Structure 1
Amino acid sequence: MTEPIPLAGIVLDAPEPPALADFYHRLLGWKIVQADENWVSLEGPAGSSKLSIQREPHHQRPTWPSKTDVQQMQIHLDFEVTDLEATQQRAVDAGATLMDWQPQEEGVRVLADPVGHIFCIFIAGW
């Protein structure tokens, strides 16, 4: 068997990478380690991955839940938290939108970042 290849990071598209990076910096507290108008990278805590944002001027917001005739979500991010309500408020204060449809009543919240990328916050063990 060959050696496993580690995931170095996730890259999201956005019309203005610095603005979306600022949102994730405020939400997650991750350090911005590389930045220009076309590419921004944030570094997570030890054991985490890197999150980068690249310029895509034609980015379209995905829908949640999905519909067949509009842009569908291609990926979503999951963040494990200890205080769901406080983290949800922190996300909304940073510019996130709580999605109308939630797949579960407890333990998990689905939100969208300012350009529409879906992410979930959830309580450990949920």
Structure 2
Amino acid sequence: MPSAVLRGVTLDCADPRTLAGFYGALTGMRELFSSDEFVALTDGSGCDLGFQRVDGYRPPRWPGQEVPQQAHLDLRADDLDAVEELALELGAAKPDRQPGDGRWRVLLDPAGHPFCLTSS
């Protein structure tokens, strides 16, 4: 039976370099490719993270659905408090609504994409 392997995830944004800088600093991933329209990060695992410029980009409005989130990243943190602090220092925002009874934390990247930090 044919199969496919996840090669990467790409996020739409207004400024690929800035968003790649945020996620690179947060995850330790390094730049694999860069142009004015697209930046890719890698950690050598075979699943890369890309950022593509979209004219007229409108950030998601989480938790509302006026502009739906469409997708989000889940990141495992070895020290949840320390990684949350780093993300906030790098420009993430923490919305008031935090579902999950403390099992994970929802943050918004500098382009407005929700992402979750979890320790499990």
Q: Tell me the TM-score normalized by structure 1.
A: 0.90
**Residues in 2 aligned to 1:83 and 1:107: alpha-carbon distance in whole angstroms:** 13
**Residues in 2 aligned to 1:4 and 1:80: alpha-carbon distance in whole angstroms:** 26
Q: Which contiguous aligned blocks of 4+ residues in structure 1 show a shift greater than 3 angstroms? A: none
Contact kept, 8 Å, 1:21 with 1:53, in 2: the verdict is yes
1:30 alignment counterpart: 29
Q: Does 1:50 align with 2:32?
A: no
**Residues in 1 aligned to 2:67 and 2:109: alpha-carbon distance in whole angstroms:** 16
Q: Figure out how many residues of one structure are paired with residues of the other and give that number.
A: 120
Return the letter of the residue paired with 1:43: T
2:15 alignment counterpart: 16
In structure 2, the gaps of 5 or more residues are none
**Residues in 1 aligned to 2:70 and 2:64: alpha-carbon distance in whole angstroms:** 10
Q: Could you tell me how far 1:45 is from its partner in structure 2?
A: 4.7
The CA RMSD over aligned residues, in Å, is 1.2
Q: Does 1:119 align with 2:115?
A: yes
Task: Provide the secondary structure at the position in 2 that maps to 1:53.
Answer: strand
2:105 alignment counterpart: 109
Task: Provide the secondary structure at the position in 2 that maps to 1:98.
Answer: coil
1:86-97 → structure 2 map (5 Å cutoff): 86-97=82-93
Task: Provide the secondary structure at the position in 1 that maps to 2:96.
Answer: coil
Contact kept, 8 Å, 1:78 with 1:120, in 2: the verdict is yes
**Residues in 2 aligned to 1:45 and 1:36: alpha-carbon distance in whole angstroms:** 20
Contact kept, 8 Å, 1:38 with 1:55, in 2: the verdict is yes
In structure 1, the gaps of 5 or more residues are none
Structure 1 window deviating more from structure 2 (98-107 vs 11-20): it is 98-107
Identity %: 34
Task: Provide the secondary structure at the position in 1 that maps to 2:36.
Answer: coil
